[in-house]
Amino acid sequence: MRAWLLSDAPASRRQARLGRLYAGWLTFRGNTLAMVGLAILAALVLCAAAAPWIAPQDPYAQDLAMRLKPIGTPGHLLGTDSLGRDILSRLIWGSRTTLYIVTLVALIAPVVGLLVGTVAGYAGGVWDAVLMRITDIFLAFPRLVLALAFVAALGAGIENAVLAISLTAWPPYARMARAETLTIRNSDFISAIRLQGAGPVRIITQHIWPLCLSSLIVRVTLDMAGIILAAAGLGFLGLGAQPPSPEWGAMISEGRRFILDHWWVATVPGLAIFTVSLAFNLLGDGLRDVLDPKSGGSK
């Protein structure tokens, strides 16, 4: 199997593609820190998927007699919050919300940025001027303030928080994609495909995107931490996920009232955010080694 995957002369397109994926995986596997990041994220996905079965308690069940119990209380491994809800269970259910936000933002912002950036970079002229000025306008707004205004206008909720974060997150991707497009646009291999009669849509989607994509993916994973924090920030301000739904930022926000006497209520979700952010950063670093075209890709 291994020999078939790493064959010097693949017999079919499928074998060539699988072999390339496998070679990339081998490079990635050599990076211990990236594997740690991947393992944490895999655990997060498992947690989210299996939340109903692995959560020891109902995340919404209140028990005022058991409120603010410390870490290690029997039945409440990570303690309870101000309404006596089990923090571990809320953390596990909250991973769903976190993943949901992260996935949606990761799908919206880079795609919009890539589209705007590559079209502006390749078309040039008026298109470039108009699209980049729009990007500048979005860049000029302070991120959290724009998100706040947006949520205030549309109402609080996870979907609107996602939309607000995406709206403020795409301009850097557009800038980056445009800069890459400008360096690619006049290269000989683009000239060559133009000479074969390819139109601008084909050139942008088939020839420019693959080259922008790797740096974009790396950038997205590195930004993921910031996105989780922005979502947590909105939650903290009461503009993201609404109580009683378990969202990590909202949990910190609730816990801040007791932070001096009952530190674990705010600290535990904080640690969760920290761990996942770190995992995304580690993963991003590892992906850069695998995907960076300048390193020649997988040997």
Applying CB under 8 A, does 126 fall inside the site for another protein?
A: no
| Interatomic CA distance for residues 128 and 122, integer angstroms | 8
Minimum Å gap between C-beta 116 and another protein is 22
CB under 8 A: which stretch of 11-19, 32-40, 72-80, 81-89 binds another protein?
11-19
Under the binding rule (CB under 8 A), the answer on residue 207 touching another protein is yes
**Contact (CB, 8 A) for 65 and 85:** no
The set of residues, in sequence order, having a beta carbon less than 8 Å from that of 60 and lying 6+ positions away, is: 85, 244
Count of CA atoms in the C-beta half-sphere (13 A) of 26: 12
* Cβ at position 3, least distance to another protein in Å: 15
Does the protein bind another protein through residue 24 (CB under 8 A)?
no
CA 156 to each of CA 101, 153, 159, 162, 240: distance values in angstroms, whole numbers, following the listed order: 14, 9, 8, 11, 6
3 counts as binding another protein under rule CB under 8 A: no
Residue 13 in the binding site for another protein (CB under 8 A): yes
Among 100, 139, 194, 274, binds another protein (CB under 8 A): 194
197 scored as a contact of another protein (CB under 8 A): yes
The binder of another protein chosen from 142, 187, 205, 257 (CB under 8 A): 187
Stretch that binds another protein, among 13-21, 60-68, 101-109, 279-287 (CB under 8 A): 13-21
> Rounded to the nearest 5°, which phi and psi values hold at 292?
-60, 115
Which one, of 158, 60, 152, lies nearest residue 102 by Cα?
158
**Secondary structure (3-state) at 76:** strand
**Interacting positions 255-294 with another protein (CB under 8 A):** 293
Question: Is residue 205 within the footprint of another protein (CB under 8 A)?
Answer: no
Only one of the segments 6-14, 28-36, 74-82, 230-238 lies at the binding site for another protein (rule: CB under 8 A); that segment is 6-14
Contact 290, 28 (CB under 8 A): yes
Q: Does residue 183 touch another protein according to CB under 8 A?
A: no
Question: Which of 4, 6, 16, 70 forms a contact with another protein (CB under 8 A)?
Answer: 16
Q: Which residues pair with 73 in a beta bridge?
A: 76
Residues 209-228 that bind another protein (CB under 8 A): 210-211
Report the residue number, 2 or 13, with the smaller CB distance to another protein.
13
- Cβ atoms of 41 and 106 within 8 Å: the answer is no
Q: Is the Cβ–Cβ distance between 273 and 232 less than 8 Å?
A: yes
Q: Is 26 in the site for another protein (CB under 8 A)?
A: no
How far apart (Å, rounded) are the C-alpha atoms in residues 169 and 138? 9
Smallest distance from another protein to CB 7, Å: 9
Report yes or no: 172 and 218 within 8 Å, Cβ to Cβ: no
Binding residues vs another protein (CB under 8 A): 8-10, 13, 15-16, 19, 187-189, 191-198, 206-207, 210-211, 293, 296-297
